[in-house]
Amino acid sequence: MEEIANDLLQHRLDLCQGSLYRVRYSIHEFAPLYTPGMKRAVRSRRKVYGQLLEHARRQPHRECCGILAGQDGLITQAFPAKNFAADPVRNYEIASKEMVRLMGELRERRLEFLGIYHSHPNWRDTNEPSPKDIALACYSEAIYFIVTPRPYATTPIRAFSIRDGRAMELEIHVLP
């Protein structure tokens, strides 16, 4: 198991170092004070929350993906992306060309890149980062949203900060 984790981590490093696009935006801190006893929080507009659920439920047996953008740390828009993974039932991948196109759209709209979202198909038990999700998380300042298409899920969308091979769940404040 440790060998698999090391291989995934090396693959992540290869992907990040070979990436055609590097994030140039500074991500705002989402909570001014953080202590281990309290969760950090991310703020999102209600319409974005709805868009993510709708995207995931369109094809509940496949992983969907996209990027999250906004201003001043508030997620105001979701930009769906095509899943270019060889096996979209088990993985997601946003192609470099697609990322460049989406980042260009963000610049045109004067939005900041704030995160990445993807879904876990309805046959998966939880919407938390898999070991592969953690290994492939290249943008340490990004917020990673994981959506489940299950209609009766207690927490259909969860947010995580993924850094140095570790994931920390973030509280999502949904605003009007």
pLDDT for residue 125 is more than 90: no
Instruction: Report yes or no: 140 and 14 within 8 Å, Cβ to Cβ.
Output: no
* For residues 2-8, average pLDDT: 40
Separation of alpha carbons 75 and 63, rounded Å: 21
Q: Where are the domains of the chain?
A: 2-175
DSSP string, 96-112: HHHHHHHHHHHHHTT-E
Per-residue confidence (pLDDT) for residue 92, from 0 to 100: 95
CA distance 166 to 35: 17
- CA-closest candidate to residue 5, choices 147, 129, 126: 129
Separation in Å, CA 92 to CA 2, 40, 46: 23, 26, 24
Q: Going by C-beta distance under 8 Å and a sequence separation of 6 or more, which residues neighbour residue 46?
A: 174, 175, 176
pLDDT band at 152 (very low <50, low <70, confident <90, very high): confident
Name the amino acid, one letter, at 158: R
The most distant pair of C-alpha atoms in the chain lies apart, rounded to whole Å, by 46
CATH architecture designation of domain 2-175: 3-Layer(aba) Sandwich (3.40)
Lowest mean pLDDT among 23-27, 131-135, 158-162: 23-27
Residue 11 has pLDDT above 60, yes or no: no
- Minimum mean pLDDT among 27-36, 66-75, 89-98: which range? 27-36
Tokens 């946003």, located at residue: 94
Q: What is the DSSP letter of 49?
A: H
pLDDT confidence tier of residue 40, bands split at 50, 70 and 90: confident
pLDDT digit string (tens) for 76-98? 999 999 999 999 999 999 999 99
Mean of all residue pLDDT scores within the chain: 82
